[in-house]
Chains A and B, each alone.
Chain A
């Protein structure tokens, strides 16, 4: 029941004890922002009608620091991350679960901002939170706020979308410039503290994927290039499909500012995280129609064909440089560390 007297400023341990304060938190904040018919029942599990079709299920946890960054916050990230994981199956989300872990002392005003952007993103993606959980831990036991989200999606198409379905000749398309999310986060970290206009690309891509799926049945794989960046995704797909992948450095969109910051710090944009970038493997016959469709979508204006799948091979990725040389891409060895010199 909503309590008009809810005036707490900071999260307290009692907000997670299952008692009155927990109840107030759920009714005054969580249902206020994310409520709907299913969630409002506050049942231990959501019961959904599952028609006789395939269902996709995914889960992810979000522990980003800082929790607010240009272009988003941990809440938007959590929703986009799960929606995009579902989107790689080419499906529409049915509903999401979320689990909040809050640190004692966390400002309620911050939680409101996070919930508001979650709501906005859910509305955009035409889905909702249908079950959830909240825990509060003692100060120091967690870093401000952690969010876990899971998602269920309904697969309405008959296509087989999987890295193992990638074929020789497939064109590789990305929906825009890489590295924006990672660099926007980096620029906000206190140890760097440099001025930058880079905004995270954090975005839900389910509508983009639906648009693409409506134009062709010849998509072989979608992958969102999050942690580990574009290079890691390409390597995973090369290895899963047993092909050599060729990409062309000059075709990969990277903003000048992102490239400049990477050069300055000795980082490689190919390994910087994204939160709104989908890598698409499509039959070459349909590559142009897919590219045109993506470019007509708000999250794909700068889409580009960045390479193609070569013959069967050891699962390697070859980067062709603008000066006519070639090199192999490797998995990232641990965290990228800025250079000293």
Chain B
């Protein structure tokens, strides 16, 4: 094992006061890595890792899923989407089920695939579900700019893009949620930098460490949080220095705000949060699928037993959901946290069943 890993273990021992601590990993990729490497097995029992709202599929509201399903049922469209979205159940169906019924749905790996399809098929309407946090939004922006330059008339996006800092602000303000430290997301922070998190230690006294994704990175980051608590000096530190700079990536940030503007946005489990989503600016509204494809008002009916919302806030562990494991499994997911490859329920189900006492 690397020297850094040993250092992380040493710091864990040195700076652990023994007081119960809740440390939230915000990002779904962290959640998966923690479970996959069994990192909880290495932590002292007073340290409780909880998963946050950092999986874009998990926080997509049931309303948005049902709206997308309604749009493809009312209009003849070619829908392009990233992988996991296709399996998320809406109130009565999913994109996967609609695909098997003959709807034109393609899993793509870049929005450019959707745009290229639109360019080569000008007589067909193409809808791309733009999903993700600050990491994926710059690419959506570039695609919209390219569509504008090429005067593409048959390409539309359904934006579910969201911003991470407003969700963290909501969590630290929530009296029910007790968080003693944040593992901040590495990929998102590569774009926005570490400065947007400064309000967390400054106003709420909660330490933040931007972490990479290897087990060594995560262990060391947790130890850095313990050190901040031990020394009584909460701040924002960057452990993932090879990728994340305090100021972030200016070009990517400019690209986001050239095309998108913050809007109030509905998050699954967290509710409607002011200025937490991104929608197209007025000059790009002609690409907005929500406007281009109006549908009758819908009323989502999420599964009554699903507590993905509480799981996303860290109020409940996935295995505390009465649906967990039976009937909700990765083969038959009822909520999005069990669907997504980044979802905390899927991570717990796949990787943590060997040590149930530590999850």
Q: Give the docked Cα–Cα distance between A268 and B351 (Å).
A: 13
The closest CB in chain B to the CB of A331 belongs to B331
Contact mask for chain B residues 195-232; partner A; CB cutoff 8 A; 1 contact, 0 none: 00000000000000000010100010000000000000
The yes or no answer to A327 lying at the interface (CB within 8 A) is yes
The yes or no answer to B110 lying at the interface (CB within 8 A) is yes
The yes or no answer to B318 lying at the interface (CB within 8 A) is no
The yes or no answer to B239 lying at the interface (CB within 8 A) is no
Interface pick from B127-135, B142-150, B294-302, B306-314: B127-135
Interface pick from B54-62, B171-179, B244-252, B260-268: B54-62
Q: Give the docked Cα–Cα distance between A283 and B125 (Å).
A: 61
B99 to chain A, nearest CB (A): 13
* In the complex with contacts A337-B84, A337-B107, A341-B55, A325-B37 CB distance below 8 A: yes
The yes or no answer to A330 lying at the interface (CB within 8 A) is yes
Q: Are B1 and A323 in contact (CB under 8 A)?
A: yes
Q: Give the docked Cα–Cα distance between A191 and B42 (Å).
A: 39
A49 to chain B, nearest CB (A): 48
Q: Which residues of A contact B342 (CB under 8 A)?
A: 266, 339-341
Q: Give the docked Cα–Cα distance between A191 and B106 (Å).
A: 11
B150 to chain A, nearest CB (A): 20
The yes or no answer to B5 lying at the interface (CB within 8 A) is yes
* In the complex with contacts A333-B331, A341-B133, A326-B354 CB distance below 8 A: yes
Q: Are A325 and B341 in contact (CB under 8 A)?
A: no
The yes or no answer to B275 lying at the interface (CB within 8 A) is no
* In the complex with contacts A340-B57, A341-B55, A341-B56, A323-B215 CB distance below 8 A: yes
* In the complex with contacts A266-B29, A323-B215, A324-B42, A339-B109 CB distance below 8 A: no
* In the complex with contacts A333-B331, A341-B133, A323-B83 CB distance below 8 A: no
Q: Are B107 and A328 in contact (CB under 8 A)?
A: no
The yes or no answer to A318 lying at the interface (CB within 8 A) is yes
B87 to chain A, nearest CB (A): 8
Main secondary structure of the interface of A (DSSP, over half): loop
Q: Which residues of B contact A321 (CB under 8 A)?
A: 37-38, 215
Q: Are A191 and B109 in contact (CB under 8 A)?
A: yes
Q: Are A325 and B28 in contact (CB under 8 A)?
A: no
The yes or no answer to B317 lying at the interface (CB within 8 A) is no
Query: Which of A266, A318, A333 has the largest count of B CB atoms less than 10 A from its CB?
Result: A333
Q: Which of B18-62 contact A (CB under 8 A)?
A: 27-29, 32, 35-39, 41-42, 54-57
Q: Which one of B42, B350, B351 contacts A323 once the chains associate, using CB atoms below 8 Å?
A: B42
Q: Which residues of B contact A337 (CB under 8 A)?
A: 82-84, 107, 341
The closest CB in chain A to the CB of B84 belongs to A337
Q: Give the docked Cα–Cα distance between A338 and B29 (Å).
A: 12
The yes or no answer to B108 lying at the interface (CB within 8 A) is yes
The closest CB in chain B to the CB of A324 belongs to B42
Q: Which of B76-120 contact A (CB under 8 A)?
A: 82-85, 87, 107-110, 113
The yes or no answer to B136 lying at the interface (CB within 8 A) is yes
Q: Give the docked Cα–Cα distance between A334 and B83 (Å).
A: 12
The yes or no answer to B292 lying at the interface (CB within 8 A) is no
Q: Which residues of B contact A333 (CB under 8 A)?
A: 329-331
The yes or no answer to B352 lying at the interface (CB within 8 A) is yes
Q: Give the docked Cα–Cα distance between A46 and B133 (Å).
A: 61
Q: Which residues of A contact B355 (CB under 8 A)?
A: 326
B209 to chain A, nearest CB (A): 18
The yes or no answer to A37 lying at the interface (CB within 8 A) is no
Q: Are A341 and B108 in contact (CB under 8 A)?
A: no
The yes or no answer to A322 lying at the interface (CB within 8 A) is yes
Q: Which one of B29, B38, B133 contacts A339 once the chains associate, using CB atoms below 8 Å?
A: B29
* In the complex with contacts A323-B5, A325-B39, A326-B354, A341-B330 CB distance below 8 A: no
Q: Give the docked Cα–Cα distance between A326 and B341 (Å).
A: 20
Q: Give the docked Cα–Cα distance between A20 and B274 (Å).
A: 73
25 contacts between A and B (CB under 8 A): A191-B108, A191-B109, A191-B110, A263-B213, A266-B32, A266-B341, A323-B37, A325-B38, A325-B39, A326-B38, A326-B41, A327-B35, A327-B352, A328-B351, A328-B353, A337-B82, A337-B83, A338-B109, A339-B28, A340-B82, A340-B342, A341-B29, A341-B55, A341-B132, A341-B133
Residues of chain B at the chain A interface (Cβ within 8 Å): 1, 5, 27-29, 32, 35-39, 41-42, 54-57, 82-85, 87, 107-110, 113, 131-133, 135-136, 185, 187-188, 213, 215, 219, 329-331, 341-342, 350-355
Known: A336-B341, A340-B342, A341-B188. 7 other contacts (CB 8 A): A190-B113, A266-B32, A321-B37, A321-B38, A323-B1, A326-B355, A334-B331
The 6 closest A-B pairs by CB, nearest first: A337-B83, A325-B38, A333-B330, A325-B41, A191-B109, A328-B354
